[in-house]
Amino acid sequence: MTDTKHASSWKASIGVAGLVVLLAALIAGNVILSNVRLRLDMTEDNLYSLSEGTRNVLKGLEQNVTLKLFVSSSSAEMPVHLKNYAKQIEDLLQEYRIKAGKRLTIEKYDPQPDSDAEEWAQNYGLQGQQMGLFSPPLYLGLVAVSGANEGVLPNLDPRNEQLLEYEITRLIYRTVHPEKPVIGVMSSLPIMGTDPGGYMMPQQQMSQPPWLAFRDLKEDYTVREVPTSATEIDPDIVALVVVHPKNLSDTTMFAIDQFVLRGGQLLAFVDPLNLTELESAPQTQFQRPNISSSLDPLFKAWGIGYESEKVLADPSAVSRLRGQNNQIEDSLVWLSLRKKHVAEDVLTSQLEYLMMPMTGGFTDNTADDLTYTSLITAAEGSGLVNSMMAQFGGKAVRRDLKASPSSLSIAIRLAGTFKTAFPNGKPEPEKDSDSENNSNVVSSGSTPFLSEGKSAAILVADVDFLFDRFCVEEMNFFGTKAYRPLNDNINFFANAVESVAGGADLSSIRSRGKFHRPFQRVLDLEQNARAEWQAKEDDLEEKLRQTQQQLSMLQTKKDESQKFILSNEQKEAIEKFRKDERALKGDLKKVRKNLRRDIERLGVKVKIINIVLMPTLVGLLGISFGIYRRNRQ
């Protein structure tokens, strides 16, 4: 009996010991694996992995950085979606810590009311927001500290989740590298905002805020405004951004020319029809304001074809707008540019959607010493139409459109050896100076100048796409203004600035893909139907034109007394046209019906895959796995 009890006690002790060992093993395994992150990102654009640019920035850290996350996680007032977003941020910051190693430290604070953490948050400049009149302020912000340098993201908005990695990486980079490159901005538009002088009348003191794209430049660069009358560019400016260069003098053109030849990087935005200026310019009955811009002397010297009075029309990039008589029409000159229009370039490869109204087009006539790279390209069948005709609606554009024999580009990059546009030296208002010296440095009077030099430039044939209403939507976030991108316009601009001013790693982060993915199959179906519709509509208009000509010819043959009476021939011509019109309208109805049918069929296929096929596959896999386990037992 005693032996039996001892045996039972021994077995119980062994069982308890086994449980203790198992528990210890689980705890040890949990501690060991807590720093091991096993994840597999199956998304096409690797949306849930750190980009190469972030990894490069973290690898290059030479100073210790501490990231302090302030989140009101214990507050009952904190909305659930913000708590979930805060957890995503924490998870992403752990990815940063693992990639950076000992150089990066993550700290989390819960700034409860009247706590030290709240005081620290306020000292760092974080903005607490109240959900109600008597509710405590809520915090969701990030602070980076490196030595004496500090950087702050005061509000982390979940609506800008696609920019989260870029914002964190830029915060780290700018904290470690507080010095900012100097860039110049030259424009004939008030892109940097206007501040009325103190001597203006009260009714004239109408200040304008800077365009959002250019306001954000000051966070990353030392921005220096360069007047459109400048005769030279300061040597400490590393990149020059020229926007809507309208009516520049030859001396200003020469200053830009010499800036490029001495190695300065140029980012220029020209426009054949600037809507922003058109809408704000005073309208007169007899004079149309000049709203086009160009760098014509420089373009000709570099071998760039550009017609400043021609607008690009692209049937593959139409936008649906409300036109005349409040009707919806497809515009060929308000371009909705997608993946197929952008190049596989570090500057553009991750852009998903661009909206560019009334753009121009570049053609390549460069010499061998310049490399021409198209960044945004119009599709085959595109062409240039008169800018005046482009304002008369879709039908007028289609009538005027003729496909260009050469490829048209909206944005290009030039790199290599640039030739001067002023071989005779700096232009003078009244007297031309002759120069026969063809060496790299030539003397015009007492002023030396460059005749060629190696550099790079990015040229874009549109300006309007940078204006706020074409690229962002203003929102209210906890009582403060916030902006949600409508497209990748500002991303493209920021990538271009960083490309000419440095910082390719940050550029590669910003240009990552978005969560929004257009249904490309449906867009292709609509494009094919649109082409078929347009062909039949053109056929109908041609028959109407022929009928009108025939009626006019028959009318001239009639006597003066019979001019208000339709002849039999006229009646037959009208009746024939009406039959053709009915037949063509029937064909147009078939086009619409076929389009709806194809879209509905595609929708049914997707529903079958999602509702029937995928659950069936999962169920079969589960059954197969169950049978497999039973057979092993």
Q: CB under 8 Å to 443, separation ≥6 — which residues? A: 425, 435, 437, 449
Mean pLDDT of 168-179: 86
- What pLDDT shows up at residue 227? 94
Give the integer Cα–Cα distance in Å for 353 and 417.
Answer: 33
8 A C-beta contact, residue 296 and residue 277: no
SS3 per residue for 69-85: EEECCCCCCCCHHHHHH
Task: Report the sign of the C-alpha dihedral through residues 153, 156, 159, 160, in that order.
Answer: positive
- The identity of residue 449, as a single letter, is F
Tell whether the model's pLDDT for residue 111 goes beyond 80: yes
Residue 405 DSSP class: S
Give the integer Cα–Cα distance in Å for 153 and 166.
Answer: 12
Q: Which two tokens stand for residue 158?
A: 């979940």
Out of 39-53, 242-256, 346-360, least confident range: 39-53
Going by C-alpha positions, the residue among 465, 506, 462 that lies closest to residue 486 is: 465
Percentage above 70 pLDDT, the chain? 70
- What pLDDT shows up at residue 480? 66
- What pLDDT shows up at residue 398? 79
Mean pLDDT of 302-313: 93
Between residues 181 and 159, the one the model is more confident about: 181
Q: What is the pLDDT of residues 471-494, one digit of tens each?
A: 888 777 666 677 788 889 998 998
Out of 67-81, 391-405, 434-448, 514-528, least confident range: 434-448
Q: What distance separates the 2 farthest-apart alpha carbons in the chain?
A: 139
Banded pLDDT at 505 (limits 50, 70, 90): low
- The identity of residue 120, as a single letter, is W
What is the reported pTM? 0.58
- What pLDDT shows up at residue 195? 63
Going by C-alpha positions, the residue among 384, 513, 376 that lies closest to residue 458 is: 376
Q: Which two tokens stand for residue 318?
A: 């139409």
Out of 156-160, 316-320, 554-558, least confident range: 554-558
* Strand 222-225 versus strand 182-187 pairing type: parallel
- What pLDDT shows up at residue 592? 64
Tell whether the model's pLDDT for residue 65 goes beyond 60: yes
CB atoms within 10 A of CB 332: 23
Give the integer Cα–Cα distance in Å for 248 and 96.
Answer: 48
- What pLDDT shows up at residue 74? 87
Tell whether the model's pLDDT for residue 418 goes beyond 90: yes
* 45 burial type by CB count under 10 A (0-12 exposed, 13-18 middle, 19+ buried): middle
Give the integer Cα–Cα distance in Å for 524 and 532.
Answer: 13
Banded pLDDT at 438 (limits 50, 70, 90): very low
Mean pLDDT of 197-204: 44
8 A C-beta contact, residue 370 and residue 392: no
Averaged pLDDT of the chain? 79
Q: What is the pLDDT of residues 588-609, one digit of tens each?
A: 666 666 666 766 776 677 778 7
Mean pLDDT of 215-235: 89
Give the integer Cα–Cα distance in Å for 91 and 57.
Answer: 19
